[in-house]
Amino acid sequence: MGLRFLHASDIHLLDLTGVGPLRYLNKRATGGLNLLLGRRRRHDEDRFDALVEAARRLDVDRLVVTGDLTNLALESEFEHVARRLAGLDLPVTVIPGNHDTYTRGSARTRRFERYLGRFMQGERLGDHPYPFVQSFGDVALVGVSSAVPTRPLWATGRVGAQQLERLAAVLRALRGEGKLRIVLIHHPVIEGVARARHELVDLAAFGRVVAAEGAELVLHGHEHKVVRGAIAGPEGPVPVHGISSGTAVADAHPYAAAFTVYEAEAAGVRSELHLWNDTDFAAAPSDAPVLAGAAP
């Protein structure tokens, strides 16, 4: 048994109902208001509706969103996101992005996990929230968190040494079970993909874990850009796919709104990129070839 899923990211749903500007300006004078005004121009929630419609049309089993579901990690935003996802009538998997831990308070009170924990149910090591593993027959989704609060205007991420240790153990165990391992992380994991002050600060350490333990595919978001590349694995390159924002208003590929449909089973993964094309999403003419299967 495999898994047919739709990978989207950075939907940045905006809901400011009942939130006055002072509330966030007090917390974080830099960025808050400008960011929200800019977001309104750069993201369109109608595209999320079109994406959900496409998920139904394409008959996927699950929607996977790799972080930045909100903008400022406000309670009102999480309420809106939780309501939208719960109303989809489609199973959903999420991991957090840097915007989902925008303030120290939101991270400290585990706001993302409190509102969206139901979309991250799975196996864990002890009571550590990350990584978590969701298994679908021969396929395992491994949810990693790189979301940490940052200084204003920074958007860096960090997995952390302890989570990386757990990730190594999880990848090793899943390999032992012959699972096809798909790692979900918000920040790009290929050197040079993220802009300055947007990087995963422990990218090299993440790379060492994958180089030692392997994975069959890594999916990310964050740069609002379609990325197709690879990092080193123990038996050859591990494909890395980044996806642009699912609600981007930008028109030009690789920044236009997009998602990828994956058909994953023990033998391997097939992918099909879909790009926003004027009025709806449409399959891109050609996408990456068939990817490597699970380790024997």
- Residues lying near Fe ion in the complex (CB under 5 A) are found at 10, 68, 97-98, 222
CB of 137 vs Fe ion, minimal distance in Å:
31
Cβ nearer to Fe ion, comparing 147 with 269: 147
CB of 186 to Fe ion, least distance (A): 6
Q: Of 156 and 163, which CB lies nearer to Fe ion in the complex structure?
A: 156
Q: Which is nearest to 77 in space by CA: 121, 38, 28, 36? A: 36
Gap between the Cα atoms of 30 and 164, Å rounded:
32
Q: For Fe ion, which is the closer residue by CB, 98 or 145?
A: 98
Beta strand segments in the chain, E? 3-8, 62-66, 92-95, 123-124, 132-136, 139-143, 180-184, 217-220, 227-233, 236-242, 258-265, 268-277, 280-283
Which segments of 104-258 does DSSP mark as H helices, in order? 104-108, 111-116, 161-176, 203-213
Our CB check for Fe ion shows the closer of 8 and 142 to be: 8
CB of 100 vs Fe ion, minimal distance in Å? 9
Task: Specify whether the CB–CB gap between 292 and 236 falls below 8 A.
Answer: yes
Shortest distance (Å) from residue 224 CB to Fe ion: 6
Which is closer to Fe ion, CB of 99 or CB of 181? 99
- Residue 134's φ and ψ, nearest 5 degrees, are -115, 120
Q: Report in angstroms how near the CB of residue 69 gets to Fe ion at its nearest.
A: 9
